[in-house]
Amino acid sequence: MKEHDIVFHKNDDKALISINIEDEDIDCALLDIFSIDDKEYIALVSLEDNDLYILEYDSEKDNEEEVILSFIEDEEEMDFVFDVFESHWSDEEIDEVMDSYFEELEEDE
């Protein structure tokens, strides 16, 4: 079995990111930016229903204000990335991060 270079927690900041799926904007909390080998991914959790989205993350940006997020097209790659992610992040850890987001959102109101 091939060894993979995996790095989690490549971000320390919190961010709210809106993604568009099937013409619907979904507000998400940034959970993690991580890499597997030379490819980067971003894990987002929907604020509305706690759905997890993992997208390809292109940090090679032309514009400092914008990054490129794209869906993982290859089903085998998608399954692998989700398996790696789930082996690192527990449901309890995700819940803790989301609780922290919700607390901050309540404070801002």
3-state helix/strand/coil string of the chain = CCCCCEECCCCCCCCEEEEEECCEEEEEEEEEEEEECCEEEEEEEECCCCCEEEEEEECCCCCCCCCEEECCCCHHHHHHHHHHHHHHCCHHHHHHHHHHHHHHHHHHC
In this prediction, residues 35-44 reach a mean pLDDT of 94
pLDDT band at residue 30, thresholds of 50, 70 and 90?
very high
pLDDT value of residue 60: 66
pTM for the model: 0.86
Span 47-106, pLDDT tens digits:
999 999 999 998 765 556 677 899 999 999 999 999 999 999 999 999 999 998 888 877
